Structure 1
């Protein structure tokens, strides 16, 4: 009874002990399933679609299923995929001709679905996405364009969409060239987006230097968007998990992860959080954004578990989780909610997105965006919250 009173007092003071957070991954996953009874509704979806955000949310659900042994999480995902993909492996509303790497992200869930259900259509759908990547336009060095409509451009986001998928396919097909391609995606992107002064990565790079957002000398976009670095951090961590232990370039990826972890730690604020524009904490209209913090929770925690990162980062993780609890996590009507999620951000397009500071802090903010909730669930699993 005394223990419960102490915990209650801490909650009221806003200093929530990690002891109260056991199985938060299950609590939050259940909240998402109640909020969005069908998986296509994740990320506030309005139609049945093979969206990368729904794919991210479903990947988190598969991890909860694996962790808990409860079939309801797996069934939630499989129902979505089974509805989306016909017996020929054709994906509802998928357009190969768009050469959009976002489509590839949801393909990650198909490997486990194929393994568990043995439905051939999931294997055929995987091959459809591989076929896209075989002909995806690339930079001169072989880095995938983000989309056909964004020529000559590499975005950090895209490395997460493609890299782990390629590594999973390498294992499935027993074809090592796909491991090599996954590593190439990471390292080519690092070469052109890394900023030695800050230790951070710019959101994107334009090989042609023709975009208005591109630095005429370097081709780099002008700011460090938190979520884009989160995508990249998760991508490297996930590729390393799939990569053979004796892969000749494995050491380069581990070194990159360790450098990124060290440099990002410099930008964690006193409350344990990172901001929408990472290097400008406290500037007017900037804010502590949920997806970047969820992604870092996942990447740092998994990095420790996989022994790529030192256990000394556990203090950073505890501080981060407490910051999320205090500033970004709410409970309303029995459901857990993540607030301050940046709904979307990109570059170019119409209306034109110029990558400026003002652009990133003006994009729409909403609750329970899957780009935050999916990594939060996975991060809580890795950190045992």
Structure 2
């Protein structure tokens, strides 16, 4: 047991009073703890967004510990959750939220703008999304290092390997492949950067990424998009005629619809590509609505396979769709009926998948922990593959979108 008087581990001592010992400390020097973290209380009358954010902060006293990380790592899951907390802070300001976000950024961004643990040469588009946190931190502090860090991520986008038709590879190790996940990882940052610092000069290129995946990965029968598209059609998982992976994964579709509504924030209404992207959102939303489970309001892990053996109602995709539908209506991109579908999904999440913990914190269950294609060990994209990937309670790919959905729905 950790001695309560040991100041170096002050942040960790709060775990002792809880049943959930969800992560361990690291030997690496952590960012300075917010001393208020240890006194976090979660009121049963709080909104769901606040309950989830405070639960995360209570379980993970240092923001780098999100996802049970044992040492600081620049990563997309932290970017997602902290972006959600940043949006929460805009609607419900609380200095603890800003401290929590900034402590993550300051664990990594060095004075020369380099980012610890980030490796540009891997050209992993997942690593761009945490850069969304830097815009606000830079605007508030005006410290040059944050601008330089954004410029570094912009350099990755500039140099990111592309398919012959101009789409970003998902990673250097996945040649010629666009994944739906990658649209969320790259495009909202790219759109915000080009509007903020380049007078919007690259918005056509942002739109092109959506155009390519929409053109190549959409299934004409269901209107859903496949998890990934291999332009070379060389991957063993790729359909030899279309290059698409074999199945529809709800989280991948969730990344895609979140990418659409978030990137649209930076497209002026009179931009020639704005209506096109809104059209993509309407098309995919209409297709997804057909596969929403009537009884629960949720979506299945493999989107179109309903109650087939082993399939399950999945938290991250359902949260992402609820967010995108609600924001789409709030911004005027989608018809009002999608707000009802978003509320129905949110009811399903809170009534069926949320557990309230002894300390008032909440746990979101039934979240797929991870899924991908190719790699080693090899992932074939089969139905059996998706339904057998492990699940994790309060997985950040579910909790971040849950906060965002709660905010858009004012729940």
* TM-score, reference length from structure 1: 0.93
Is the CA contact 1:89–1:128 (under 8 Å) kept in the aligned structure 2?
yes
Which of the residues 249, 272, 280 maps onto 2:297?
272
Q: Is 1:228 matched up with 2:257?
A: no
**Counterparts of 2:331 and 2:340 in 1: how far apart (Å)?**
17
1:46-65 alignment, distance < 5 Å? 46-65=70-89
Which residue of 1 is the match for residue 179 of structure 2? 155
Aligned-residue offset at 1:47: 1.4
Aligned-residue offset at 1:172: 1.4
Which of the residues 205, 208, 213 maps onto 2:237?
213
Which residue of 2 is the match for residue 312 of structure 1? 337
Aligned residues: 366
What per-residue deviation string (whole Å, max 9, x for no partner) do you get for residues 11-55 of structure 1?
A: xxxxxxxxx986210111111100111111112222101100011
Which residue of 1 is the match for residue 366 of structure 2? 340
Which residue of 1 is the match for residue 212 of structure 2? 188
Secondary structure of 1:154's aligned partner:
strand
**Counterparts of 1:314 and 1:62 in 2: how far apart (Å)?**
23
Secondary structure of 1:330's aligned partner:
strand
Secondary structure of 2:304's aligned partner:
helix
Which residue of 2 is the match for residue 104 of structure 1? 128
Is the CA contact 1:22–1:384 (under 8 Å) kept in the aligned structure 2?
no
Aligned-residue offset at 1:340: 0.8
Which residue of 2 is the match for residue 291 of structure 1? 316
Aligned-residue offset at 1:225: 0.4
**Counterparts of 1:183 and 1:110 in 2: how far apart (Å)?**
23
What per-residue deviation string (whole Å, max 9, x for no partner) do you get for residues 274-310 of structure 1?
A: 0100000111111111100110111011001101011
Which residue of 1 is the match for residue 279 of structure 2? 255
Is the CA contact 1:230–1:296 (under 8 Å) kept in the aligned structure 2?
yes
Which residue of 1 is the match for residue 407 of structure 2? 381
Q: Is 1:362 matched up with 2:388?
A: yes
Is the CA contact 1:166–1:181 (under 8 Å) kept in the aligned structure 2?
no
Which residue of 1 is the match for residue 143 of structure 2? 119
Alignment root-mean-square deviation, CA:
1.1
Which of the residues 112, 120, 136 maps onto 1:88?
112
**Counterparts of 1:287 and 1:368 in 2: how far apart (Å)?**
16
**Counterparts of 1:258 and 1:335 in 2: how far apart (Å)?**
35
Aligned-residue offset at 1:76: 0.3
Is the CA contact 1:65–1:72 (under 8 Å) kept in the aligned structure 2?
no
Aligned-residue offset at 1:164: 0.5
Which residue of 1 is the match for residue 90 of structure 2? 66
Aligned-residue offset at 1:177: 2.6
Secondary structure of 2:178's aligned partner:
strand
**Counterparts of 1:352 and 1:371 in 2: how far apart (Å)?**
22
**Counterparts of 2:242 and 2:284 in 1: how far apart (Å)?**
21
What per-residue deviation string (whole Å, max 9, x for no partner) do you get for residues 101-123 of structure 1?
A: 01101011111111112121111
What are the ranges of 5 or more consecutive residues in structure 1 without an aligned counterpart?
1-19
Aligned-residue offset at 1:57: 0.7
